[in-house]
Structure 1
């Protein structure tokens, strides 16, 4: 049975919820796990090795469960020669995952770790892939960049809003290369759309729409529980981090996306894949100005997070983003970007430009096809990251895009859980209601 309490349960008012979120603090016993430095409090951040165009990049992996192993360890190891990289080290709190990674990578036992800080102490590691549970993204990313490592962070970038800006500020200060693991950012069609928007081909933006919908009769994220997971085979306290103290629970370990302590559900796991690309397609990704989100969980009740959700986001330019997500109905909405003069329709590896009727004499319909890469191309995602590490520039899922998308995701979660429409000020980084009341962002251990 779940150890968690539903924060939106009957009897908890919005005002009480806001106050609780504002005063919540991390559990002291877990705090030292998060904050213990690798190089000492008074030492300057490492600058890392200067990597030339032909230098081999040594990659470490923190979090080598399903996503970490299959998407990152396997793909990078199998393409070592193609990328001129070495899959050099791995870290995980579950011994079964460590052993699997060690065997597949073909490394000695001294190259796998239970504690990510040991991996970061290695001067030969140039870049770190972070595919942990969401609440560990920020601590590992920040410590990696402070240690001079470049980072690829699985989506969502962080669990909560404040630590998103911690990652952003650290990345800017250390000048490390960051890639977000929202793989559809690599699809060329979104970048083609951005060019068309900047060229004025569809006029002022009106609305972008997309969806990520599934139908899981047994409940989304109810993955099989590996019987080899025991209190002896996993560092449970480390896995919990600063989410709080609770008894060992295999359901939480393998099905953590169902629970608010560790994840924001559909928003972070599915809709992150749609929010990032549509922000790219706008031609000028902005911080949101207003976000509202609805959600229900009347069909799958074994969780904290909704099984059906809708997000509406306004941006300062007047552009609105609408994304729908579901794990109980697989029918989505057509992907399109609506402008005042024309509309862009997305499908596969192509973009169709169609004029709005009043502007038919000014804009010719046109199809742009064969736009590659297309689909979930993780090899392209890794190649883009390695290329920027060597040659400079910006990754397709760079830090400036990622922090803007993270604000949308974080405010959407807050909106749904607090039953509020929320406004964001990018200069002050403050969240308010429509009446001007400041709202403290959700934070641990909520």
Structure 2
């Protein structure tokens, strides 16, 4: 995507092009520069939008709090299957709220413009389709689906509805991603040939060991409604409150975390996705009855397209990480590399320096006069930091969503994009379980 086209695209998303102001270097080396990334919102926020939350757990509540930071957004209803979450919703957001355990009561209301879906993954497809069919705009947490076969159903419902649907991999709307997209298009790292991503956690909550309320029972949880589209099982608070650990309800590490990295990578590179997927891993530490690994590795082949050359992607996820965890996405090209974070990009360019490999360094000396060799310079490094007071990618993702509703615009992660980000993550899980490579057609969005 050329620079002018990229700015036009970002403007359609309701946010101005990211700008970078160069500051004097604060580092000793003259080859390192620091820039500040600035966000200038273009959206008209005067129209009041009324929203409802379906699924008031940790992520649904976080989404709602972020949504309410925006001007003229009103929360009018909340749905959850656990009594205490409904009580807490009224304490947090107001006693005026309509609360229910039946999401269809929310969809029947005419005063709601949009819904936020923060339920466990296995409910995403059904509630999204029902919401679109009822005339609501939809913000659905990632991954958009739990099974690949569900993707086209959501896409078809979205197209038929004429409504806005945003998938919630919020990091892709970040200043960091937008700057990385611009730098790659301008050839800052040359020709892309490799990318890698890493996500690590080292805490019980980070590893999905969510607290189990003392009052958890069939008196406080509508268990039958929860499992109504899944297997019939007796009440199990672990499967309700720690649902990510179980195949009936969640999508494992890949669906929870790899999908974020796919979303950012596809946004930056304009890629439709890989055509070959493989994955391995294991249950190394959290032997608590979970059905998914706590260490997972993925390898992906991205074919050459008109948008980018062929390249390879490596992803890793670790829930037993002794360094307390972290995340990053790195893009490597023929002339340099970029470390991409949501509020920062570090660009490193090859200045023809010596290799760190002692064998290669020794071989380079052969046949050369060391006294005649030019002084080796380190790779040029430029850092792009988000401006002070930057409200973050989560805020920007909702800014895009609300602007698209108000102005009949576009969103960065519509269901087609969301499907292409979810599919390789879900194929990771299949590859892990079957111990084989998985084929995928990223353009036609179907198995091979």
TM over 0.5: yes
Alpha-carbon contact 2:142-2:259 (below 8 Å) kept = yes
Gapped regions of structure 2 (runs ≥ 5):
1-43, 305-309, 354-375
- RMSD after superposition: 2.7
* Alpha-carbon distance between aligned partners in 2 of 1:86 and 1:218, rounded to the nearest angstrom: 30
Q: Which moved more, 1:328-337 or 1:97-106?
A: 328-337
Task: Name the counterpart of 1:396.
Answer: 412
Structure 1 residue runs without a partner (length 5+) = 1-51, 433-446
Work out which of the residue numbers 225, 228, 231 in structure 1 matches 2:215: 228
Q: State the alpha-carbon separation in 2 of the partners of residues 96 and 145 from structure 1.
A: 28
Aligned match of 1:171: 158
Which residue of structure 2 aligns with residue 420 of structure 1?
Answer: 436
CA distance in 2, matches of 1:350, 1:217: 28
The residue aligned with 1:438 is none
- CA distance in structure 1 between the partners assigned to 2:116 and 2:266 by the alignment: 24
Which residue number in structure 2 is paired with residue 343 of structure 1?
A: 337
Q: Is the 8 A contact 1:187 1:372 kept in 2?
A: no
Give the 3-state SS of the residue equivalent to 2:139 in structure 1: strand
Distance in 2 (CA, whole Å) between partners of 1:129 and 1:330 is 35
Which is higher, the Rg of structure 1 or of structure 2? 2
Say which SS state the counterpart of residue 129 (structure 2) adopts. Answer: helix
TM norm structure 2: 0.76
Going from structure 1 to structure 2, the CA distance change for 1:98 and 1:135 (only over 3 Å counts) comes to same
Superposition pairs of residues 24-39 of structure 1, within 5 angstroms:
none
Offset of residue 73 of structure 1: 3.2
1:279 matched to 2:266: yes
- With normalisation by structure 1, the TM-score equals 0.77
CA contact (8 A) 2:200 2:327 kept: no
- Report the counterpart of residue 322 of structure 1 in structure 2: 314
Bigger drift between 241-250 and 159-168 goes to 159-168
Name the CA distance, whole Å, in 1 between partners of 2:121 and 2:209.
Answer: 17
- In structure 2, the residue matched to 1:74 is 65
Higher alpha-carbon deviation: 57-66 or 374-383: 374-383
> Structure 1 170/296 Cα, relative in aligned 2: closer, same or farther at 3 Å?
same
The equivalences for 1:123-134 within 5 A come to 123-134=110-121
SS at match of 1:83: coil
State the partner residue of 1:92: 80
Secondary structure, aligned partner of 2:227: helix
- Is 1:291 the counterpart of 2:290 in the alignment? no
Distance of 1:96 and 1:366 partners within structure 2: 49
Which is worse superposed, 56-65 or 321-330? 321-330
Q: How many residues align?
A: 374
Mean Cα displacement is larger for which, 94-103 or 250-259? 94-103
Matches of 1:202 and 1:114, distance apart in 2: 51
Whole-Å Cα distance in 1 between the matches of residues 322 and 387 of structure 2? 26
